[in-house]
Amino acid sequence: MIVDVSKKILIVGLGLLGGSYARILKRFGFYISAITKEQSSIDYALDEGMIDEGTTELDHRMIGDADLVIFALYPHVFVEWVEQNQQLFKSGAIVTDVTGVKRSIVYKIQEILREDVEFIAAHPMAGREVSGVENSNDKMFSGANYIVTPTDKNTPEAIHTCLELGRLLGFSNVTILSPEEHDEMIGFLSQLTHCIAVTLMTCNDKENMEKFTGDSFRDLTRIARINDVMWSELFIENKDVLLNQMDMFMEKFKELKAMLEAEDIEGMRKMMRHSTERRALFDKK
Amino acid sequence: MIVDVSKKILIVGLGLLGGSYARILKRFGFYISAITKEQSSIDYALDEGMIDEGTTELDHRMIGDADLVIFALYPHVFVEWVEQNQQLFKSGAIVTDVTGVKRSIVYKIQEILREDVEFIAAHPMAGREVSGVENSNDKMFSGANYIVTPTDKNTPEAIHTCLELGRLLGFSNVTILSPEEHDEMIGFLSQLTHCIAVTLMTCNDKENMEKFTGDSFRDLTRIARINDVMWSELFIENKDVLLNQMDMFMEKFKELKAMLEAEDIEGMRKMMRHSTERRALFDKK
């Protein structure tokens, strides 16, 4: 479906991600419409030639025209939107999303959605410390991962469409995971790291530390500048996995602390060598 | 003393830091000699015009000639060197270092050192994941902190010399702290962050994670590639401070975990907003 640029794409939520989607997809010639909260975002996007039309209203014609609807909203807003407005979708439309948690979203949406509309979930693993359509850009996804999380309710055609969308958007890696595998992976690589960064940033309010900060501390706390509305919601939506992983981290941290207490220099060195070896796997290729 | 470029500087330990010192100071016209373990490091430095002479031996003449001796060695090697060879220093020489912990080094060295030689301690807060003289460079210290940690045994002249050395080396901030303030600060900003990075890197050996890694995880684990010999030693030399700070971090982490368990969304959001506010202080100016 995607390769056919005569199809119409509606983006709901024109922020950093939605905006970058619009910018990139418009270049391929698709007809792009957008629904978002702020008129200023629509004005900006029209001005930049990123969309063909946009509104802050629930425009029935615009929704009913769309062959592909991309939701770039907070998880609970997305679910509510579908609950309240799904009667407006065109029959045969494909719906996708950008939500950072999957188990709690995918099954719920597929459960409530009309039979003649298909939801295929995806997670573009890309973010910044900034937000808003004004910060969107067309290089946003270079080097990043796009993960499609189908269930047995999805058709091969919709999965294919979603994979192709990821490739069109310029993601370097486009992969399929189950919602469960996705949440396990994202809990560790993204949510646990945000928990750690926020903790490090708030556990010591001593003054004047910033005068002596080097790159290590800055790197570990870059993501401590955090969107509190979105992340608190993502944490709760993946609570069981994240709690386990927080425990796992604490167990290991206690091991290191016990070795330091005992001045077990060989034990610490062994852990550091393991760390060094394993980090090499994660270098940018 | 430093401004007088006729003075001779000896660097003991020609690695990443010692090499960068040599490169930069040579440009000012100082006579630079070096003692280090590997002949290949000497050959490289001579080739690059970074030093005037160098040896892998305990060259009595070279040591006896030096007005300023800079030790760029691991902590315990530095202490042992001074214990065994201090009779070779020129009378009136100033000795400084690059050691990343101060309380356990400064008082010990000042205690054992000859009366006619002065040790003024300093910590250049700069490092890389690479090592060796081949990776040294003359931009190494731009944007970085240089901290001088005098005690009441130090003369104003030696403190002044050491501060000026930091400025010549190109550090953006040159500051004075007590050894106690230094170790408290470095425990938090540098050692605790390394403990966290190593723990995160080793707490989950699940395979194929690297395929999905984004910038967050990479940033938090950049320093998980770690020199096990040096860091295990630094941790132990600052054990009391670091253990306290590990506890402080764990307390806060447990608070966050309790809030997630209770789905206390307001509590989590408050912590995240505090984190965001405090992180702004640490932005690069």
Chain A partners within 8 Å of B104 (Cβ): none
- A15-33 average pLDDT score: 96
Confidence (pTM): 0.90
Q: In this structure, what is the dihedral angle of CA atoms A237, A240, A241, A247, given to the nearest 10 degrees?
A: 130
Chain B partners within 8 Å of A254 (Cβ): 250
Contacts of B240 (CB under 8 A, 6+ apart): none
Chain A partners within 8 Å of B147 (Cβ): 212
| Residue B124: strand, helix, or coil | strand
pLDDT at B130: 76
Tokens coding B45:
């430095």
pLDDT at B145: 92
* A&B contacts, CB < 8 Å: 266
Give the gap in angstroms from C-alpha B201 to the nearest C-alpha of chain A: 6
B225/A280 touch (CB, cutoff 8 Å), yes or no: yes
**Cα A43 to Cα B256: distance, rounded to the nearest angstrom:** 40
**Cα B16 to Cα A129: distance, rounded to the nearest angstrom:** 33
pLDDT at A131: 84
Write out pLDDT tens, residues B134-148: 999 999 999 899 999
Long-range contacts of A259-265 (CB under 8 A, 24+ apart): A260/B235, A260/B236, A260/B239, A260/B242, A260/B243, A260/B246, A261/B239, A261/B243, A263/B236, A263/B239, A265/B232, A265/B233, A265/B236
Give the gap in angstroms from C-alpha B22 to the nearest C-alpha of chain A: 22
What percentage of chain B exceeds 90 in pLDDT?
A: 89
pLDDT at A177: 97
Phi and psi at B10, nearest 5°, equal -110, 130
Contacts of B33 (CB under 8 A, 6+ apart): B8, B9, B10, B11, B51, B52, B53, B54, B62, B65, B66
User: Checking DSSP bridges between strand A145-148 and strand A122-125, what pairing results, if any?
Assistant: antiparallel
Q: Is the pLDDT of residue A279 over 90?
A: yes
Shortest CA distance from B146: residue in chain A: A212
Q: Is the pLDDT of residue A2 over 60?
A: no
User: Checking DSSP bridges between strand A118-119 and strand A94-97, what pairing results, if any?
Assistant: parallel
Contact B233, B74 (CB under 8 A): yes
Chain A partners within 8 Å of B274 (Cβ): 201-202
pLDDT at A16: 95
**Cα A142 to Cα B32: distance, rounded to the nearest angstrom:** 47
B278/A205 touch (CB, cutoff 8 Å), yes or no: yes
State chain A's mean pLDDT as an integer: 95
Which among A33, A10, A208 is positioned nearest to A94, based on CA atoms?
A10
Write out pLDDT tens, residues B20-62: 999 999 999 999 999 999 999 999 999 999 999 999 999 999 9
Chain A partners within 8 Å of B276 (Cβ): 224-226, 228
A272/B243 touch (CB, cutoff 8 Å), yes or no: no
**Cα A20 to Cα A143: distance, rounded to the nearest angstrom:** 15
pLDDT at A143: 86
Give the gap in angstroms from C-alpha B12 to the nearest C-alpha of chain A: 25
What are the C-alpha distances in Å from B252 to residues B58, B224, B268? 50, 22, 12
**Cα B111 to Cα B143: distance, rounded to the nearest angstrom:** 34
What percentage of chain A exceeds 70 in pLDDT?
A: 98
- A128-152 average pLDDT score: 91
Q: Is the pLDDT of residue B211 over 60?
A: yes
Query: B126: left (phi > 0), else alpha (psi -120 to 50), else beta?
Result: beta
When scoring A191, A193, A238, A264 by the number of chain B Cβ atoms within 10 A, the one with the most, hence best to mutate, is A193
Chain B partners within 8 Å of A185 (Cβ): 209, 212
Q: Is the pLDDT of residue A255 over 60?
A: yes
pLDDT at B285: 66
ipTM of the complex: 0.90
Q: Is the pLDDT of residue A130 over 80?
A: no
Band the pLDDT of B248: cuts 50, 70, 90. Answer: very high
pLDDT at A1: 56
Contacts of A156 (CB under 8 A, 6+ apart): none
pLDDT at B213: 85
How many Cβ atoms sit within 10 Å of the Cβ of residue B58? 12
Give the gap in angstroms from C-alpha A255 to the nearest C-alpha of chain B: 9
Contact A102, A9 (CB under 8 A): no
